[in-house]
Amino acid sequence: MDQDISSGLVVEGVSLGYGRTPIIRDLTLPALRRGTLTALIGPNGAGKSTLLRGLAGLGNLTGSVRLDGEELHRLPRAERAMLLGFMPQSLPPPISLSVLESVVGSLRAGTGASSHSRAGDPVRRAYATLADIGIAELANRELSALSGGQRQLASLAQAVARRPAVLMLDEPTSALDLRHQTVVMREVARLTREHGLVTIVVMHDIALAARHADQIAVLRGGALRAFGIPREAITARLLADVYDIDARVETCSRGSLQIIVDHAL
Amino acid sequence: MRRSPEPKPDPMSASDLSSANRPSIRRSEAPSSGGSAAVDMDVAIAGHRRRMVRRVVLLVAFTLAMLAAGLADVVTGPSGLTLHDLWRAVLAPGEVDRTTAVIVWTVRLPYAVMALLVGAVLGLSGVEMQTILDNPLASPFTLGLSSAAAVGASLAIVFHLAPFGLPESWAVPTLAFLFAFGSVLLLQAMARLAPAGRETLVLLGIALVFSCHALVALLQLIAPEDVLQQLVFWTLGSVTRATWEKIGVLAAIFALVMPFSMAAAWSMTVLRLGEDRALSFGVDVRRLRYASLIRVSLISSIAVAFVGPIGFIGLVGPHIARMLVGEDQRFLLPTSAMVGALLLSLASVASKAIMPGIIVPVGIVTALVGVPAFVLLILRQRR
């Protein structure tokens, strides 16, 4: 896989919004290299989900989004869908469809015949994805029989099964218990490194983000307020500035970053 | 870019993360030995295959049930023909007496075939409408299609309209079709103006139902007495209007539409996972919705134009099918069509059995059976 410095995702002069009022205006991010995980954080209404949906091709985006130099939004729909994996914030509904079937659907719908010839039996591929995420046991269970957390894991499988080059996850751990939060973030980080993905994850848990992300992008009011490696980007001053909270950023006895919120400003 | 399902040395991965209430094979056997992952995959895929086989078996069973219901429909009736008479009339019409041949070929068979065909059309239309509009209450009836058809038919009957110089037997269905199909195009155009397409379409459909009912009532008010009976009878919905030409038209369009529906099955399946997911998988959701709506509106408009409004088949059929085969639309679409066919065929049998010597319009039967089913459905939704 091409790992030179020019490869990766470049977001330049991007504007997005519903209707007439743009939520994000002329946003440019530093280049996101392949094999890195970027956590997108910020207060409610900062435009995180809007930005992620826009990058995934689900909004009216203007500006330039290039992957390895190629303008993504000029690609045909099916081709673009093969490159972009998106996990929406909403859980898959509890319908009478097995987890395996739902992942097979993600492989077979919309992408035309090219995806079939490319990688063999979709059922085997779907199962391999479930095994990777650690939910092989849920393969033949129906979504209607699963908990919210289990459905969120199924949703992750649906997003990664096509082996996209860019992986965009909108709050992938919001319905998960503490253990699964860690497991999922580790797995996402592993996929990112091993397959040279550009991964962007919208998160609310800053400590979790700091532990797993290579860099953190902080958004407020549709504008980028900070960007960098977690230890440098996350400061008490930034938290006060962006979240309007009085908080301490401390290093725990094992060296990981912890946020202690004292009160709201 | 190879990713294999083999257990990784990482203790936090695959084997570790099982669902709480089902013992995994990996746990009951030696944990994380190289072969067990492959066994797991085979077991899972075998389980997946069993789900498929079960659905195929159901489809076959429904095909047989449909044939049986159709046969029962042909057999039942006031003229007291035996199965043997029917058999001979079908196989060798020349060897039976004229009356028997006429009854079988112009009454029994066309009614029975029309019931199956219209049921299938309504079942397919209902399930596609429910999927693309993400609304369990969508159907040709609730979107106002049947009501619009009734307006068209009423106009033709009251004012003796004969568009394109058609004979009277075709003028009524033609106008009914034009109104039904036109109403969907109008709904679609209006929904496009509004930002939230899906909900708007269903709401506008319901609004349309009320307007159409008022129009039909107005036409009934001004209709001369001799026409009034004809008008009322049309709005009841009955397969007794079946002719072989109409069957031919409906069957041809249905055969034309069904392959397109089946080709869109995967896209519709993932649409059930949510619009954003379907879009991210590369599905052109707008186009999918538009094409599907036009397709099923076309066939259900023709069906309604030929037999009149028949409620609840298009609403209840899909729900029964969904309970039986789940949301995989490759199976749900044909099953829903078959359930619709079976229901309408059984209703047609019942319509002849309720009052001896009289064929109760099948629209009344489906509504009578449909109402309790509808109530049950709503109660289940609130669960």
* Predicted confidence (pLDDT) per residue in B321-330, tens digit: 998 899 999 9
User: Is B48 in contact with A139 (Cβ distance < 8 A)?
Assistant: yes
- Rounded Cα gap, residues A32 and B175, in angstroms: 61
Q: Does any CB of chain A come closer than 8 Å to the CB of residue B278?
A: yes
Of A56, A97, A132, the CB nearest to B272: A97
- Among A56, A131, A158, the residue with its CB nearest the CB of B273 is A158
The pLDDT assigned to B182 comes to: 92
* Each residue's pLDDT tens digit, A224-256: 999 999 999 999 999 999 999 999 998 888 888
User: Is the minimum CB–CB distance between A97 and chain B shorter than 8 Å?
Assistant: yes
- Please indicate if any CB of chain A lies within 8 Å of the CB of B18: yes
Q: What would the pLDDT profile of B269-285 be if each residue is shown by its tens digit?
A: 999 999 999 999 999 99
Write out residues 167-196 of A within 8 Å (CB-CB) of B. 180, 182-183, 186-187, 194-195
Measured CA to CA in angstroms, residue A5 lies from A9, A66, A71, A191, B196 at distances of: 11, 14, 17, 20, 43
Contact of A164 with chain B, judged by CB distance below 8 Å, is answered with: no
Q: Which residue has the tokens 């939060």?
A: A181
> Is the per-residue pLDDT at A1 higher than 70?
no
Tens of pLDDT, residues A69-92? 899 988 988 889 999 999 999 999
Q: Determine the residue among A58, A61, A101, A121 to mutate to test chain B binding: the one whose Cβ has the most chain B Cβ atoms within 10 Å.
A: A101
CA distance A64 to A67: 10
Interface of A with B in 129-158 (CB under 8 A): 129-142, 150, 155, 158
Quick check: B14 pLDDT over 60?
no
Contact A194, B2 (CB under 8 A): no
What is the pLDDT at residue B5? 45
Substitution target in A96, A135, A163 with the highest count of B β-carbons within 10 Å is A96
Closest CA to B188 of B289, B278, B279: B289
Six-digit token pair at A127? 């199962």
SS3 state of residue B368:
helix
Q: Which of B148-157, B301-310, B369-378 has the lowest mean pLDDT?
A: B369-378
Å between B379 CA and nearest CA of chain A: 17
In chain A, pLDDT over 70 holds for what percent of residues?
A: 93
Q: What is the rounded average pLDDT of the residues B174-201?
A: 82
The full DSSP string for B65-111 is: HHHHHHHHHHH-STT---HHHHHHHHH-GGGS-HHHHHIIIIIIHHH
Contact B231, B154 (CB under 8 A): yes
Q: What is the pLDDT of residues A25-38, one digit of tens each?
A: 899 999 999 999 99
| A109 closest CB neighbour out of B15, B266, B327 | B266
The predicted-structure confidence for A167-195, as pLDDT tens digits, reads as follows 999 999 998 899 889 988 998 999 999 99
B 38-77 → A contacts, CB under 8 A: 40-41, 44-45, 47-48, 51
Does B16 have pLDDT greater than 50? no
**What's B240's DSSP letter?**
G
Assign A4 to helix, strand or coil. coil
Closest CA to A72 of A59, A58, A57, A62: A57
Confidence category of residue B122, pLDDT binned at 50, 70, 90: very high
Contact flag B48-A137 (C-beta cutoff 8 Å)? no
Among the partner-chain residues A112, A137, A162, the one whose CB lies closest to the CB of B18 is A137
Residue among A78, A96, A140 whose CB faces B44 most closely? A140
Q: CA-CA distance, A249 to B287, in Å (whole number)?
A: 50
d(CA B124, CA B258): 9
Query: What is the mean pLDDT of the segment spanning B297-301?
Result: 90
Q: What CATH number belongs to B63-381?
A: 1.10.3470.10
The answer to whether residue B166 scores a pLDDT higher than 50 is: yes
Q: Chain B residues with CB inside 8 Å of A124's CB?
A: 41, 45
Which chain A residue shows the shortest CA-CA distance from B12?
A183
Q: Collapse the DSSP code of B33 into the 3-class scheme (helix H, G, I; strand E, B; otherwise coil) and give the result.
A: coil
What residue spans define the domains of chain A? 8-234, 235-265
CB contact under 8 A, A81 and B282: yes
Contacts of B5 in chain A (CB under 8 A): 127-128, 131-132, 136
Interface test with B, best of A60, A83, A97, A170 (most B CBs within 10 A): A97
Domain-wise residue ranges, chain B: 63-381
Which positions in chain A touch B284 (Cβ < 8 Å)? 77, 110
Amino acid B70: pLDDT: 93
Which residues from chain B sit within 8 angstroms of residue A184, using beta carbons? none
Of the candidates B241, B368, B370, B216, the residue with the CA atom closest to the CA atom of residue B307: B241
Q: Which two tokens stand for residue A65?
A: 């989004």
Mean pLDDT of the B8-14 span: 40
Among B80-84, B90-94, B196-200, B291-295, the range with the most confident prediction by mean pLDDT is B291-295
CB B133 within 8 A of CB B195: no
CATH of A8-234, one of 3.90.190.20, 3.30.460.20, 3.30.390.10, 3.40.50.300: 3.40.50.300
Q: Which of A58, A88, A105 sits opposite B269 (nearest CB)?
A: A105
What pLDDT score was predicted for residue A265?
83
Residue B29 binned pLDDT confidence (cut-offs 50, 70, 90): very low
Question: How far, in Å, CA of A209 to CA of A232, rounded?
Answer: 13
| Mean pLDDT score of chain B | 84
Mutation to test the A interface, candidates B32, B134, B267, B281, most A Cβ within 10 Å: B281
Q: Report the distance separating Cα B24 and Cα A204, nearest Å.
A: 33
Model pLDDT, residue B295: 92
